[in-house]
Structure 1
Amino acid sequence: MQIPTRQLLQALAVTAFSGLTGVAQAHFQMLYVEDTALTRAQSLEFALVFTHPFSGGPTMVMEKPRAFSHISAHGGEKIDLRQYLRPVQWQSRDNRTTAYRASIPRELVRSLGDHVFVLEPEPYLESEEDVYIQQFTKLIVNVGGVPGNWSEPQGLPVEIQPLSKPYANWTGGVFRAVVLADGKPVPFAEVEIEYLNHSVDIANNAFGEQDYVTAPQASFKAQSTYTDAQGVLTIGLPRAGWWGIAALNIGSTKTHKGKPLSQDAVLWVQARDMK
C-alpha cells in the first residue's frame, strides 16, 4: 500500500522538527452543536473551531469560511448560512485565536427529519509542514426521530457519506461510512479519528479545563486507519460524546498558492450511553 502524500509530508515534518516540536497532532475542523438528536425544533448555536480536539489545542486561526450551508430535511433545499457567521476569539488550552460562531434560528430547522450542515473553510497554511489544509466538514442534526437525508452525499469535492446514522449511536457500537472524492469511493484512504476530550463552553468561546480521559501515549490521541478496497470505513465508538472522522488528502485539487494542498473530508458523530 502506498503511503498517502500528506502522511509522508507529515512524517518528514515530524522528523525535521522532532527536536523542537515533538510529534505532530491531528488537525480537525470542528462544527459543533450541543446535541444532534432533538425531540423538537429549536434554535441552534454552532461553534466553528479549527483545533486538536483530544488535547484542546492549540487552535489555529480561521479565516471567514468560503461556504456554510444547510440542506433541509425535506426537498433538499440548500440555504446559505454565511449571514449568521460571526468571528469570535476562542480560548483553547494553549492559545486564544479567531474562530466562528453561528446562531441558526428555529425557523430553519422546524421540519421533522434530518438537517445537514456543510462547512467549506478557507485553506489553512500549516507553516511547519509548508502544506495547506482544507477540511470539508459535515454535521447532521435530526429533529423528532424521523429519518431523512442523513445518508445522501452532498456533492462536495470530498466528503464522508454515512452508512450509519451519525446522530443515533450507542456507546460501544460500530459506525460505517464511505469516503468519497468527486462522488466516487476512495479505496485505502487514510483516516484519522479523534475524540473530543473535554467540554465545549459555547457561551464563553472556550474549551473546558478538564480532560475526560488520559492518553497513555501520544499515538492514542488520534486513531489511524484506512478505508477498504470499496472505500468503506468501519470504526468503533468506545466512549460517549463526540468523535471526529477525517479522511486525509483525498481531493483532486493538490495545490493552493503554489504549495501542496490536502483536501480532507470531515464528519462528526455523536455517541450516547445506554441508561
Structure 2
Amino acid sequence: MFKQFTLSLMAGAGVYASAASAHFQMLYTPELLRDSGGQITLKLPFTHPSESGHVMAVDPPQAFYMVKKGKTTDLLNSVKPAKWTSASNTGDAYEADVRLRGLGDYVFIYEMAPYYEASEDIYIQQITKSIVNVGSLPTDWNQDFGLKAEIVPLTKPYAIYEGGTFTGVVRSEGEPVPFAEIEVEYVNYEPDMATNGFAQEAKIEPPADAFITMTLFADANGTFTFGIPKAGQWGFAALGVGTDTEYQGKELSQDAVIWVQAHPVN
C-alpha cells in the first residue's frame, strides 16, 4: 500500500521508478580514503556486486569526468575496454587510470550509456558518483552538481565507521525527489584488481535473499539514512529519479548511484 502510494506521488511529479532491480554501475577503486595521491585504477563493470552476478555489456559511457576544488577534468578518453569476471560470466566492461594530484576530494562522475534490459523491455541508465579523498582534507564531497539524477551525500562517503550511518539526498537537477525508491547492495565479493573479477568467496552470508538487494524510501524531502553494519563498499541506487524517462521509444529508468566505504573499528 505504501509503495503504491509513493510511486503514485513520484509519477505525478514526472518521476518513474524502474521495475528493473539490482543493477549497479560500479566505479570501483579499493580505497576511497587515501594518505597520498598518485595513479589509481577505476574498474567500471555493470553488474550485481552483492551476489557476484551477471556482467552486462554496455556501450561506451556518454560522459566521465572528475571534479576537484570546483575544477572539472574530462576523463572520457581515459576509459578503455576491459573484461570482468563474476560467478555468472565474464563480460565486457571498462576501466580507467587516473592520477590524483594534491590533497582533497576527487569526485568521479560516470554516465553510462543506456542499457537495454530485455527481460523488462526497458532501458537503464545510471549516473554514478564515487568520491576519493586524499589526506583527509574535505573539499567537494557534499556538492550538488545539478545532475539529471544524483545522490548528494550529507555524510562523508569515505569516512564512515562500520556500524555507522550514511545519509544522502536524492535530487534531480538540484531539486529533491520525494519518496524516491533506493536499492542498497554490499560489495560482498571482493573485487580483484589484478584479475578483473570478483573473489570466489563471499565476505558475509546473507540471512535471506531479501538482504542481497535491500530497499528503502527517501522521505518527503528526498532524504534517506541507512545504517551500515559491515566494513567495505556499499552502493546506493535511486531508481528512475532522472529527468529523462524515454530512450529509443522505450521506457528509460535514469538512476542515481553513489558508492560509499565503511571502515572497521579496531
TM over 0.5: yes
> Using the alignment, how far apart are the partners of 2:40 and 2:232 within structure 1?
18
Where do 1:169-248 residues align within 5 Å?
Answer: 169-248=160-239
> Using the alignment, how far apart are the partners of 1:258 and 1:114 within structure 2?
39
SS in 2 for 1:219: helix
Match for residue 20 of structure 1?
A: none
Match for residue 80 of structure 1?
A: 74
SS in 1 for 2:26: strand
Match for residue 271 of structure 1?
A: 262
**Further displaced range: 209-218 or 189-198:** 209-218
Deviation at 1:202, TM superposition (A): 1.6
Please list the CA deviations of residues 172-208 of structure 1 after superposition, one character each: whole Å capped at 9, or x if unmatched: 0011111001210111000011000011112211111
Is 1:164 aligned to residue 158 of structure 2?
Answer: no
> Using the alignment, how far apart are the partners of 1:7 and 1:180 within structure 2?
14
Please list the CA deviations of residues 46-79 of structure 1 after superposition, one character each: whole Å capped at 9, or x if unmatched: 000100111011111121111110111x2x1111
> Using the alignment, how far apart are the partners of 1:77 and 1:194 within structure 2?
31
Q: Is the 8 A contact 2:58 2:114 kept in 1?
A: no
Please list the CA deviations of residues 119-165 of structure 1 after superposition, one character each: whole Å capped at 9, or x if unmatched: 00000011000010000000001111111110001121110000000
The one-letter amino acid paired with 1:207 is F
SS in 2 for 1:83: helix
SS in 2 for 1:43: strand
SS in 1 for 2:77: helix
SS in 1 for 2:44: strand
Match for residue 43 of structure 1?
A: 39
> Using the alignment, how far apart are the partners of 2:193 and 2:36 within structure 1?
21
Deviation at 1:91, TM superposition (A): 1.0
Percent identical pairs in the alignment equals 43
Deviation at 1:87, TM superposition (A): 0.4
**Corresponding residue to 1:99 among 93, 113, 128:** 93
SS in 2 for 1:194: strand
> Using the alignment, how far apart are the partners of 1:233 and 1:34 within structure 2?
25
> Using the alignment, how far apart are the partners of 1:199 and 1:225 within structure 2?
24
Please list the CA deviations of residues 10-60 of structure 1 after superposition, one character each: whole Å capped at 9, or x if unmatched: 5xxxxxxxxxxxxxx510110000101111112111000100111011111
Match for residue 28 of structure 1?
A: 24
Q: Is the 8 A contact 2:233 2:259 kept in 1?
A: yes
Unaligned runs of 5+ in 2: none
SS in 1 for 2:58: coil
**Corresponding residue to 2:6 among 2, 10, 14:** 2
Match for residue 147 of structure 1?
A: 138
Deviation at 1:235, TM superposition (A): 0.5
Number of corresponding residues: 256
Is 1:260 aligned to residue 251 of structure 2?
Answer: yes
> Using the alignment, how far apart are the partners of 2:95 and 2:156 within structure 1?
25
Unaligned runs of 5+ in 1: 11-24
Match for residue 125 of structure 2?
A: 134
Match for residue 22 of structure 1?
A: none
Where in structure 1 do 4 or more consecutive aligned residues deviate above 6 Å? Answer: none
> Using the alignment, how far apart are the partners of 2:264 and 2:175 within structure 1?
34
Q: Is the 8 A contact 2:141 2:156 kept in 1?
A: yes
Deviation at 1:8, TM superposition (A): 7.0
Deviation at 1:7, TM superposition (A): 5.2
Deviation at 1:271, TM superposition (A): 0.2
